[in-house]
Amino acid sequence: MVARILAIAGSDSGGGAGIQADIKTITALGGYAMTAVTAITVQNTQGVSAVHAIPPEIVAGQIRACIDDIGVDAIKIGMLGNEATINAVADALEGCRVPIVLDPVMIAKGGAALIEEDAVWAMMQRLLPLASVITPNVPELVALTETEVEDAADMLLAAQELLNAGPRAVLAKGGHLEGDQLTDWLVTQQGHLAFTDAKIETTSSHGTGCTLSAALACGLGQGLALPEAVKRARAFVRQGLERAPGLGQGHGPLGFYPLP
């Protein structure tokens, strides 16, 4: 049976990130995409100009409607926006025993805030303990651990600290660090693994975090072990960067194609 993947995230009208990127990614990787929309953003490659939050009870209703009828093999959580939505999502997922990938979306590529400041504590308390893996980039890792991250070694230490907050694994993404190489750290209670590649210089990087987390959830829902799911998700994002269609005047979207 096809893997059923539920994406809980915001809508990106420009199509490069959020729910739209999740659906494209899950479909390209052979999964069946379901959605619970948490917010509607007015957005294109040049940035976010407005955000309309979906009522928390409607967010929870979407989640339950998918799980109760179709079922689910893995869940990806992205943009949540506020404490009420975080609590609604946590309540709706109570007792759900499938892999959950949490992408702690805080800031859009163009710099717009996508979560209220007082909601970060709720995320730490309610969602981190539910997460099979959390996928912070460097700014998110700094915000969640309140530590400075200057290099890959700092990133590993911060990821290990975040692991102590409750998730079963942390995939810390190093794309914001200086240098020609990009290292992501996968940290679990059993140890850590480094995934290193040369950086791809491009302006078409909108939605990389959404795409990675959706690809990771899809892999886990299809039965891949966590390291293999990370490896395939990273390969999917790198292919998307290399085959980006070059759309828009700002941070353009990735290319969404099945892996060879």
The CATH number of the domain holding residue 91 is: 3.40.1190.20
Give per-residue pLDDT as tens, 38-61.
999 999 999 999 999 999 999 999
- The secondary structure of residue 260, as a DSSP letter, is -
* 1-37 pLDDT, tens digit each: 899 999 999 999 999 999 999 999 999 999 999 999 9
* CA angle (10 as vertex; 232, 255 as ends), nearest 5: 40
Handedness of CA 96, 236, 34, 136 (dihedral sign): positive
Residue 47 domain flag: yes
Tally of domains within the chain: 1
Write out the residue range of the structural domain in which residue 216 sits. 4-131+205-242
The answer to whether residue 174 is domain-embedded is no
Q: Is residue 149 part of a domain?
A: no
Q: Would residue 139 count as lying in a domain?
A: no
> Measuring CA to CA, which residue among 148, 147, 120 is closest to residue 134?
120
Report the DSSP beta bridge partners of residue 194.
185
pLDDT for position 111: 57
Q: How far apart are CA 16 and CA 27, in angstroms?
A: 15
pLDDT given for residue 178 in this prediction: 81
Q: Is residue 171 part of a domain?
A: no
Task: Give tens-digit pLDDT for 60-95.
Answer: 999 999 999 999 999 999 999 899 999 999 999 999
Single-letter residue type at 218: C
Q: pLDDT > 70: what percent of the chain?
A: 97
Residue 250 lies in a domain: no
Q: CA-to-CA distance for 29 and 160, rounded, in angstroms?
A: 30
Per-residue pLDDT of 95-142, as tens digits, reads 999 999 999 988 766 556 677 777 888 999 999 999 999 999 998 998
- 118 inside domain: yes
Distance, in Å, from the CA atom of 38 to the CA atom of 58, rounded to the nearest integer, reads 8
Greater confidence (249 vs 113) lies with: 249
Distances from the Cα of 66 to the Cαs of 63, 74, 77, 258, in angstroms?
5, 12, 14, 25
Radius of gyration for the chain, computed over Cα atoms and rounded to the nearest angstrom:
17
Q: What number of other Cβ atoms are within 10 A of residue 151's Cβ?
A: 12
